[in-house]
Chain A
């Protein structure tokens, strides 16, 4: 309630804050983009690069990204690694448990199209977009931390450009 009472004060200070609706969107989406908490979901070697990106050399924290161990507190799910057919329902369950608005980054070749397991594999899901809607795809096997940071910044750009109407159920 505090935020809603004080909101006119904040929106007044926004540049070009004459129209309340625009300012609200700008304020909310800016805040949202700068505090993307991501779910720890590392299933293969991409998780090593994800950990490296979260550690001090590449430092995810400066983008406002903090890892969460529960989907209830997460805004973003970084699917890092091979998703098998056995894992696919669990990924869907975790996605469903996250609060709206929620975003998905598909990290690495396996999550995009099966990667090295595209041929001759009975167990690997050929792309996680069969299971959950994906916002940003990051190719690589595994992608370097720079690629992951670039992908996260791309997602932030996307969030800043969206409108409140986009908050509706996506699928």
Chain B
């Protein structure tokens, strides 16, 4: 299955839960609603033709207007790759943990939570992973974050 066939297969079989955003240079990128995330992820993992058994990466993105959570998936048996993206509003961003589907998400979700302030429901251990234990200066990877000793790169 190449990436165009995979895009067609996913659009066809997902019953409208996955919306194709773009067929990227390497992986197709799909959008999924936050409420249907667990359902779609379980289906992607268990479908006989797909078997996306490996969560390569989980990242947060701050575009300035909204948050995006990107799940990069790979199928080790079928040699497939796909990205799925959840778009969240800036205020009260919250997402369900996907640890039930891929246990590897644990640390990625902690990191996303501490750096972006995207709350992760049913995570189990939301504690600081990279930041100091006594950190109280907010969420440093947000675009509008500032601190007294934070020096922005000047325009050259």
Known: A122-B145, A123-B140. A85 touches B132 (CB 8 A): yes
Q: Are A86 and B152 touching (Cβ within 8 A)?
A: no
Interface residues of B in 134-156 (CB under 8 A from A): 137, 140-141, 145, 147, 149-154
Interface of A is mostly: loop
Interface residues of B in 95-130 (CB under 8 A from A): 130
Chain B residues lying within 8 Å of A119, measured Cβ to Cβ, are 151-154
A-B interface, 3 closest residue pairs, ranked by CB to CB distance from nearest? A122-B140, A119-B153, A86-B132
Q: From residue B92, how far is it (CB to closest CB) to chain A in Å?
A: 23
Q: In this complex, what residue of A is CB-closest to B139? A: A122
Interface residues contributed by chain A, number (CB under 8 Å): 9
Q: In this complex, what residue of A is CB-closest to B138? A: A122
Interface residues of A in 111-157 (CB under 8 A from B): 118-123, 126
CA distance in complex: A126, B130 (Å): 18
Chain A residues lying within 8 Å of B132, measured Cβ to Cβ, are 85-86
Known: A86-B131, A86-B132. A120 touches B145 (CB 8 A): no
Chain A residues lying within 8 Å of B131, measured Cβ to Cβ, are 86, 123
Q: Are B152 and A120 touching (Cβ within 8 A)?
A: yes
Q: In this complex, what residue of B is CB-closest to A126? A: B149
CA distance in complex: A64, B135 (Å): 41
Chain B residues lying within 8 Å of A86, measured Cβ to Cβ, are 130-132
Chain A residues lying within 8 Å of B147, measured Cβ to Cβ, are 122
Q: Are A122 and B151 touching (Cβ within 8 A)?
A: no
CA distance in complex: A126, B150 (Å): 10
